[in-house]
Amino acid sequence: MQALNPKEWILANQEALFELVLGIKLSNKLILSPFRVETKPSCGFYYSKTGRLYLHDFGSEEHFDIFEIIKRKHNCGYHKAITILLGYADSVTETEKLQKEEQEVTYILHDSYGNYFDQYKISEKTLKLYNVHPVKVVFVNDNIYWRATSKNPIFAYRFPSGGFKLYRPLSPDTTKKWKNVCDGYDVQGYLQLPARSSLVIITSSLKDVMVLRELGFNAIAFNSEGIPKKDGEGKKHIQSVITDLKERFDTVITFMDNDEAGKKAKAILEEHYGLSGILIPDNFPKDISDYIKKYNRNKTLRLLKKLITKCIRQSTEDFLNFVNNDLSTETGRSKTSNTRMD
C-alpha cells in the first residue's frame, strides 16, 4: 500500500482530527464557536464538493478546514499547522481502536447513483438487482463518520443476512475504503444465481460479479480472497457452497485477481477445493472490472470466452489423462495378477 504524504494523511483523518482538536463529536447540530465566548451555538459543519470538511462560523461568516482551525488557534502558518496536526497521529489511532470496540453503524441513502459504475458498464438495473445502493451519510454511534460527495461517493452492499458493506471506491486513504458490518458467511451474488445452468464463476468481488453479469455470466464472490485451507468452520462453509454449485452447474471455475492475493486464492481453491481457474494475462489490468474499464465490452467478452474455453478444455484433458492413467494402472495390475496365477 502506498504511503500517504502528510497532507493526504491529515485529509484522510480530518473528521477524527476535528473532534480531537475541538473536543467535540461531529454531528448535524450546531456547536459553540472555538474562537470566542458564547452561550448560543453558532457554528456547523459541512463538506465541500471535493470532500473537505469545513466549520462554518455563522457569526463571522468564516469557513475553516482543519488547517485553518489550527492556524487560527495557534496563530501559525500552514507548514507549522501540518506539524501540529501530525502530532495527533497517536491519538487518532487510539480513537479508531476505541471506535472499533463497539459501533452502531447506520446510513442514509442517496437519491442518485452518480456515474461511478458507468465506467465498468454496470447498469443501475444490475446495481439494484445485487442490492447495491448509493449512500449520502454514514453514522457511527449517531455521529457523522462519512459524507458522500461527487468526487468521493459511498455505496452500501446489502446482504440477505442483514449485514452490509460500505464502500468508498475513491477514498484517498485505501485503509478507509471499506466499512464492514457483516461476517464471512455472506456470499455475494449467491441469491441472484439461477437454479441450474451450464457455468458459474467464483471471482474476487461483487463489482466483478456485476461486470460478469453484464457480460452474460453467472458469478459469485466470497467476502474475502483469504480462502481458508485448514479445517474449520470457514472451510466447511466454503466447501458447502462449492458443493451446492457443483450440483447446480455443469462447470464451476475460479476467476481471481492477477495479483499476489488473487494468485494465492486461486492456488488454494485448486489444491484444497478441486477447482480449476483462470487469470487475466500478465501486463494487463488485474481484474475483469479494470479490464472492461480500460478496453471495451466486446474486447473483454472475447478475452473472457477465450480464457474460459481454454480452462474447460484443459480441465477435460486433465480428467481424461487421469482416467486413462488409472485404467492403464489397473490393466497392468490385472496382467501381473494373471501371470502369477499361471
Q: Which tens digit of pLDDT belongs to each residue from 143-156?
A: 888 989 988 999 99
Q: What's the rounded Cα separation, in Å, for the pair 303 and 320?
A: 26
207 with 120: CB under 8 angstroms? yes
Q: What's the rounded Cα separation, in Å, for the pair 151 and 235?
A: 39
3-state SS assignment for residue 219: strand
Cell digits of residue 272: 484444497
pLDDT tops 80 at residue 135: yes
What is the pLDDT of the chain when averaged over all its residues? Answer: 85
Instruction: Quote the pLDDT of residue 174.
Output: 76
Q: Which tens digit of pLDDT belongs to each residue from 173-192?
A: 777 888 888 877 889 999 99
pLDDT tier at 99, thresholds 50, 70, 90: low
Instruction: Quote the pLDDT of residue 227.
Output: 80
pTM for the model stands at: 0.67
4 with 12: CB under 8 angstroms? yes
Q: What's the rounded Cα separation, in Å, for the pair 141 and 126?
A: 31
Q: Which tens digit of pLDDT belongs to each residue from 191-241?
A: 999 999 999 999 999 999 999 999 999 999 998 766 877 777 788 889 999
pLDDT tier at 167, thresholds 50, 70, 90: very high
Q: What's the rounded Cα separation, in Å, for the pair 19 and 85?
A: 12
Instruction: Quote the pLDDT of residue 93.
Output: 64
Instruction: Quote the pLDDT of residue 327.
Output: 47
Instruction: Quote the pLDDT of residue 163.
Output: 86
Q: What's the rounded Cα separation, in Å, for the pair 80 and 310?
A: 60
Q: Higher pLDDT residue, 68 or 333?
A: 68
CA-based nearest residue to 29, from 139, 135, 154, 166: 139
**179 vs 10, 154, 183, 275, 331, CA distance in Å?**
19, 11, 12, 30, 59
- Residue 26 half-sphere exposure, CB side, CA atoms within 13 Å? 24
pLDDT tops 70 at residue 136: yes
